[in-house]
Structure 1
Amino acid sequence: MPDQPIAPVPLAPQYKGQQAYRRPGEIQWLALTEDAYRLLYKTDEYDDGAKDRVRSHRSAVNELLSGALQYSNLGFFAGSGTSLGEAKGPSMWQLWAAAMCTDDSGAALTDAAAKVCERVRYEERKDPNIEHFLSQCDAYLAFSQDVEVQAFIVEVKAKILTLCSSFLQEGASDISAYRHLLQKLARRRVRDPRLKVFTTNYDMCFETAASNLGIMVVDGFSYTRRRRFDGRHFTYDVVRRDADKHEFVEGIFHLHKLHGSVSWERQDNDIFEAQAPHPERACLIYPAKGKYQQAFIQPHLELLSRFLDFLRQPNTCLIVSGFGFNDDHLSEPIFSAIQSNPSLKLILTDHCCIQHMHNEGSHGSSIYWRKFAELAAKGFDIHFIGGSFANIVDMIPALRAVSPAEQLANAIKRIGAA
């Protein structure tokens, strides 16, 4: 039997959650809070000069994010880290422990899990990943008709569906950060392309937040009674029509759930929205680490294609939050895009950002953090911000829609100043 899993131990845990900013071309972190100032600069003093420095650093981040909102193509990429914290969503480690282990600590695999791991040759125990395990099971089943492995996959999917749904249904979660994010980002100029939200999360946090705000979501599904996925719906928009004119409705955004959803069910060749999908038909996508075989199956083909197309567009900014860059099929396109698209701005945020940057591929940190750091040191437009998802949302300035009268007044002022 393979060695039992152990929980990953982070390096330099004191830096976890610290709010700091690192500019392109620089190696020094700029503290954004008093705690970060004391830790990063190794001092107990926090006088007026220190307060001014922190305020200056926060102002720089505010200016960075304010400028990002002005990009015509704006995207927000949400990894599993956005569902942690106040939202109380399950982490990848918790999904692994609940589906594979005898208790929540993840100290030991169940007999059934150990048997399947041995059969499909999944040997990762130091930093196991439930999606990578399932993808290995799929690869195994492609060549072996194993009823036991197939039945175990259905059991694991059932537990994932429950864990990724129940935390919202129980009402214990706080998704205010999601609401504030959508309130701030979705109020862009309607003549610009719609805000694009990409997420690897299975949960319904974005949909729930949008529903609470009364914001319409374009998610690739039809607006019929039985909603069916069709990528053409991403090309549609919503307008407000009067007798003699029409205008785009404010606040609408596009949601691309790159790894599927707890509300998606596969029926033959179609994907439908379902209140409680059957685990055997649940549309949860888990591409193998370092492989791309599932990238050519709908709806992943459509969603991934739109993500890749977004990265190639001119005047584009992508804000990444809570994504560990452990999925090669998503990390590599981002890494390639920042080198080939000269107008792409990349803002990477995470509550363990400082740790990731200095772990250099060890202790569960992806090697892509080091790769991005090396590009940033060469002057590529890559910014790093440490802090939780809620911290980052708080730093994003609120856009205020300018009325036609205000636009006219501003134009007159510019003409007068000329």
Structure 2
Amino acid sequence: MYLYNNREWCKDTDGDNKPVVAIKHKIDSALIDLVNCENLIILTGLGTSLHVLDDQGNRLAPTMWNLWEEAVKRESPEDPVIHEILDIVNYHPEAGKENIETLLSHCKLAVDYLSDEVQKDKVERFVAKAEKTIHSMVDFITPDIMLDVHSDFLRRVARRANRKVRTKIFTTNYDKCFEAAGGKGGYVVIDGFRRFSR
């Protein structure tokens, strides 16, 4: 384990292999100060839902790499080959640095400027398929899914003094774990989308 202190990463042990209690205490103290600040705004992202498991212990939330792998699969001969799409939209990431969000951004920009209707159609079909795939992969919330960590986190940050400004949480996650946990906990949830039947 590594700890961050004085703008550098250091090992969790000193020269005698004893825990660096002072650094841990500073981190704990800093986190308590942050949670008790007047305006608490939290940004969460990839990783905050990776602990959500099904009854068999399988992880439900995909990683960005999982999204990439599934979105670029060809499920039928009509699906565009990913290398064609990458060439059309001029996105050539290094191996291992592929990013589905960046690719979809390139695709959506390209659709507005492509004059070749065949290429434009390929890109539009890829975007539609990728978005459908992503939606199906992150749509795993059911009433029986345990969201204990999300619920506990929301309960803790909401348990602030009434005189302080309400905590605001923003998430870049595609899944709706925080929204579901907030709804179950009776918190005000503004997710930026209208409610609709699925």
Structure 2: give runs of 5+ residues left out of the alignment.
54-58
Q: Show the counterpart of 1:114.
A: 83
1:193 corresponds in structure 2 to: 165
CA distance in 2, matches of 1:198, 1:115: 35
* Alignment match, 2:125: 151
TM-score (structure 2 length as normaliser): 0.80
Mapped partners of 2:197, 2:23: distance in 1: 46
Letter in 2 for 1:57: I
Alignment of 1:315-394 (within 5 A): none
Displacement of 1:30: 5.5
Provide the C-alpha distance between the structure 2 equivalents of 1:111 and 1:150, rounded to a whole number of angstroms.
10
* SS class of match (2:132): helix
Partner of 1:169: 142
Equivalents in 2 of 1:160, 1:152: separation in Å? Answer: 12
TM-score, length of structure 1 as denominator length: 0.40
Q: Which residue of 2 aligns with 1:273?
A: 195
Are 1:136 and 2:117 an aligned pair?
A: no
| In 1: Cα distance, 2:133 partner to 2:42 partner | 28
Q: Match for residue 290 of structure 1?
A: none
Q: Per the alignment, do residues 61 and 201 of structure 1 end up closer, same or farther by CA in structure 2, a change over 3 Å counting?
A: same
**How many residues end up aligned between the 2 structures?**
184
Q: How does 1:219-368 map to 2 (within 5 A)?
A: 219=190, 264=193, 272-276=194-198
Indicate how the Cα distance of structure 1 residues 90 and 28 shifts in structure 2: closer, same or farther if over 3 A, else same.
Answer: closer
Deviations along 1:157-213, one digit per CA (max 9) or x if unpaired, are 1000000112x3395x65322112111111112222111111111111101111232
Change beyond 3 A, Cα 1:100–1:170: farther
Deviation at 1:72, TM superposition (A): 0.6
- The 3 A distance-change label for structure 1 pair 62 and 181 is same
The aligned residue for residue 56 of structure 2 is: none
Q: Which runs of 5+ in 1 are unaligned?
A: 1-17, 32-36, 104-109, 221-228, 230-263, 265-271, 277-418
Amino acid of the structure 2 residue aligned with 1:198: F
- Give the aligned partner of residue 182 of structure 2: 210
Counting aligned pairs with the same residue, the percent is 24
User: Using the alignment, how far apart are the partners of 1:54 and 1:24 within structure 2?
Assistant: 14
- For the residues of structure 1 that align with 2:146 and 2:89, how far apart are their CA atoms? 38
Shift of 1:149: 1.6
Does the CA-based 8 Å contact 1:77-1:197 persist in structure 2?
yes
What is the aligned counterpart of 1:78 among 41, 44, 63? Answer: 44
Letter in 1 for 2:4: R
> Does 2:4 correspond to 1:22?
yes
Mapped partners of 1:214, 1:193: distance in 2: 18
Where has structure 1 moved over 4 Å in runs of 4 or more?
A: none
| Residues 5 and 23 in structure 2, CA contact (< 8 A), matched pair in contact too | no
| Cα distance in 1 between the residues matched to 2:80 and 2:111 | 20
SS in 2 for 1:115: helix
Give the whole-Å Cα distance in 1 for the aligned partners of 2:80 and 2:29.
54
Quote the offset at 1:125 in angstroms.
Answer: 4.2
Alpha-carbon deviation of 1:77? 0.9
Residue 23 of structure 1, CA deviation: 2.2
Q: Which amino acid aligns with 2:36?
A: Q
Kept in 2: contact 1:30–1:57 (CA 8 A): no
Aligned-CA RMSD value: 2.6
